[in-house]
């Protein structure tokens, strides 16, 4: 993950956007910010995956190569994503 001046980063689950991290910031292995969900059946699967597996594997942003991460807690107004080493 590279610091970005963009104020929104898309978060992908199963290849589809499930929300955006708004005003993202990061430290060491984490990216966090305000959470703006995109309600859809895929979003429902994302939430279900966190509830069932205690984490969901996601892709952070549109960078190449893709940046993998994990969401371990259900997002509400904010979200925290643990980055996975590329």
DSSP letters of the chain? Answer: ----S-SEEEEEETTEEEEEEEEEEEETTEEEEEEEE--SHHHHHHHHHHHHHS-EEEEESS-SS-EEEEE-S--SSEEEEEEPP-
**What is the Cα–Cα distance from 83 to 85, expressed in whole angstroms?**
6
From 68, 67, 61, select the one nearest 33 (Cα to Cα): 61
pLDDT at 76: 94
From 39, 22, 11, select the one nearest 77 (Cα to Cα): 22
The pTM of the whole model exceeds 0.85: yes
pLDDT at 86: 61
pLDDT at 6: 59
Question: What is the chain's pLDDT, residue by residue, as a tens digit (86 residues)?
Answer: 444 445 999 999 999 999 999 999 998 899 999 999 999 999 999 999 999 999 999 999 998 888 999 999 999 999 999 998 76
């Amino acid at each position: 993950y590279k610091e970005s001046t963009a104020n929104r980063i898309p978060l992908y689950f199963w290849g589809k956007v499930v929300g955006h991290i708004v005003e993202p910031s990061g430290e060491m292995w984490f990216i966090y910010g305000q959470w703006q969900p995109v309600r859809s059946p895929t979003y429902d699967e994302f939430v279900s995956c966190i509830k069932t597996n205690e984490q969901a594997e996601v892709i952070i942003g549109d960078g190449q190569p893709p940046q993998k991460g994990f969401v371990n807690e259900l997002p509400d107004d904010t979200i925290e994503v643990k980055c996975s080493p590329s």
